[in-house]
Amino acid sequence: MLFYNAPEEDLQFLLFEVFRAPEHWQGAEETAHLDQALAQAIMTEGGRLASEVFCPLMQSGDAEGCRLEGGVVHTPSGFRAAYQAFAEGGWMSLAGDPNFGGQGMPKQLCVALEEMFFAANAGLYLYPALSAGACVLLAAHGSEAQKGLWLSPLYEGRFSGTMCLTEPHAGSDLSLLRTRAVPQPDGAYALSGSKIFITGGEHDLTENIVHFVLARTPDAAPGNRGLSLFLVPKILLEADGTLGARNGVAVGSIEHKMGIKGSATCVMNFDDAKGWLVGEEGRGLQAMFTMMNYERLSIGLQGLGTAELAYQNALAYARDRRQGRDPAGMSDADADSLLVHPDVRRMLLTQKAFNEGGRAFASYVAMMLDQARYGATPEVRDRAGRFAAFLTPIAKAFFTDRGLECCVLAQQVLGGHGYLAEWGLEQCVRDTRIAQIYEGTNGIQAMDLADRKTAREQGRTARELLATLRAETAGEEGPWAKEVEAAFAALEAATAALVQGAEGDAYFAGAVATDYLELVGLVLYGWLWQRMVQTAERAAAEGRVTPVFAAKKRATASFFMAKLLPKVQLLKTTLEAGSEPVMAASF
């Protein structure tokens, strides 16, 4: 039976020591109400809900799955009560616009909570995660009337939201979408078409579902420029906001998947469904990217969270399992704990290093998002926004790639038991695999980073970010200064090679994109690990964290610097090989 303990000590260390988040929160009018005591209380209660309410349903939800009966999707037993506890606790409105019933909490606090909820039960948390993205989209692009009508029930958790992009003939290439939206005399539109892979497209958790649908108007331009965004509810509302007639939206089927079986993945059919334009006609994709970018970081946290769940259970197993003898003969026992074996320790330390490094990186990206929104000057907001845009594809892809890697390592620690359903590690592997695919495959994330956000802008943001990281550690004689500077130099050289190679070779960026994303991810983790150790040792000397906590940080960082960060040099070499080894082969 899987268990989960919220990593509250580590999350508090990041927020209050490494990034000193309350100083930023209280420096902005919108977040001045949030202090350390309130943030700690929120994290404690969120961790309790995750570990005590969400996690016990993870394996049973996987075994039962969702079922479609009479046009209604029934979620696994216990999901509805858990969702109600989540909604009634106000968790849906945490980051919401206070003008419409939201609590206005900063992203840096919200990502800590998202990691915990995803870790405890990804299949269940996907429902509110999609709703949160829908709220962000509507708050950014909806009219005042639309926000007034729909945001409050979404924040209350009475309604949920979806993102309807993919069609059977059009996967990642949204320019091929065919769903049509025909203007009506009353100012609404009639939408017709089918969408696939719709997370939470139909379920029994809420009284209504609000679909955000990309479609084409009759005279729309071809390609992405002709896409508009529409709000299409499952149930129409009366003028006073009460539920009215059923709209022309129906679930066609649900997918039978490898994992996240508690999450309903639906085929949705729109048959003259009534909808309303959100934002400007022909600019739907730009508006939808607001939700997509939110979900990309969120799905990255799915990979990170599930990897943490897997690690906790693998570590507990390794401590208890007696197998083999200490290679150094340091024990008289018939069999020793798995923790005496170097390769088991390698697997566990790899998980721990990537999970804690990822947690720090998530907090850093969230801090950039907060600064982009609440920064004191236009210059601060602009720079933070560019950094957040640059870092988002890294977070999505690197978290989920490492998430699957760490779940497989956790499964390996258990040996044959890791392959059995009762221990839950095989479910972690299955659940995490999808995170590399949806919300834009990790290859697409790498292309976004390497081509659009690096090569096309001549590496400007990459170099500016690198200069910022160097400036923050300048003059410090901390541990691993040479190793981190060598990693910085490798990133600098790789960025230059990418920019130069892409200028004369249309294939170059695509051929090296994954190498570049992996390289940047490792460099950022290296910088964060150095910063975490320096902060932990100062905080321990001043009595704010325990010496044991600081010593564990140093030990894990030592492993990362010696065994994982050196891979940066290999990635630099493979990137410099260019596109020829990829494109020369014939199939």
Write out the catalytic residue numbers: 439
> Which of 369, 390, 421, 422 lies closest to 524, judged by CA?
390
The Cβ of residue 420 has, within 10 Å, a number of other Cβ atoms equal to: 11
**At 245, phi and psi to the nearest 5?**
-80, 155
DSSP string over 39-56: HHHHHHHHHHHIIIIIGG
Start-to-end Cα distance in the chain: 46
User: Which tokens belong to 186?
Assistant: 């009353």
CA distances from 26 to 96, 105, 363 (A): 18, 12, 17
Q: Are 366 and 395 in contact (CB under 8 A)?
A: no
For 267-306, the three-class secondary structure string (H helix, E strand, C coil) is: EEEEEEEEEEEECCCCCHHHHHHHHHHHHHHHHHHHHHHH
CA 372 to chain centre: 19
**At 181, phi and psi to the nearest 5?**
-130, 115
> Which of 442, 497, 446, 490 lies closest to 466, judged by CA?
490
- 3-state DSSP assignment of residue 193: strand
Q: Are 210 and 150 in contact (CB under 8 A)?
A: yes
- 3-state DSSP assignment of residue 112: helix
Alpha-carbon gap, residue 478 to 475, rounded angstroms = 9
- 3-state DSSP assignment of residue 27: coil
DSSP string over 202-267: S-SSSSEEEEEEEEE-TTPPSGGGGEEEEEEESEEE-TTS-EEEEPSEEEEEE---SS-TTS-EEE
CA 125 to chain centre: 12
Q: Are 201 and 162 in contact (CB under 8 A)?
A: yes
**At 273, phi and psi to the nearest 5?**
-70, 140
Q: Are 128 and 178 in contact (CB under 8 A)?
A: no
Length of the chain: 587
**At 73, phi and psi to the nearest 5?**
-90, 125
DSSP string over 474-533: TT---TTHHHHHHHHHHHHHHHHHHHHHHHH-TTHHHHHHHHHHHHHHHHHHHHHHHHHH
Burial class (CB within 10 angstroms; exposed 0-12, middle 13-18, buried 19+) of 473: middle
CA distances from 551 to 346, 352, 540, 545, 554 (A): 18, 14, 9, 11, 5
Name, in order, each residue with C-beta under 8 angstroms of 5's C-beta and a sequence gap of 6 or more.
51, 312
